[in-house]
């Protein structure tokens, strides 16, 4: 029977902790932006830079393009 009192006390403490964290996040503006997450997938990804080519590769590419 004592286990029920312990689990009830622990659950009330955890509930209070989560309620405190929720109100703290609301106060700091964590949930203010409701528009951006819905359109984030529509934004373009960042461009990936190509690795630099050495001089020999550049010369062969330029020769092929001029022919």
pLDDT tens digits along 33-47 = 878 877 877 877 676
Its pTM stands at 0.50
CA distances from residue 30 to 15, 22, 52 in whole angstroms, order as listed: 20, 9, 41
How far apart (Å, rounded) are the C-alpha atoms in residues 10 and 4? 10
The answer to whether 56 touches 64, Cβ cutoff 8 Å, is: no
Q: Residue 4 has what pLDDT?
A: 96
pLDDT tens digits along 6-18 = 999 999 999 999 9
Q: Residue 52 has what pLDDT?
A: 66
């Amino acid at each position: 029977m004592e286990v029920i009192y312990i689990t009830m006390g622990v659950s009330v403490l955890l509930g209070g902790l989560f309620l405190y964290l929720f109100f703290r996040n609301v106060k700091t503006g964590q949930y203010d932006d409701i528009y951006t997450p819905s359109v984030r997938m529509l934004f373009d990804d960042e461009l990936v830079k190509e690795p630099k080519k050495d001089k020999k590769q550049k010369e062969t590419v330029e020769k092929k393009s001029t022919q």
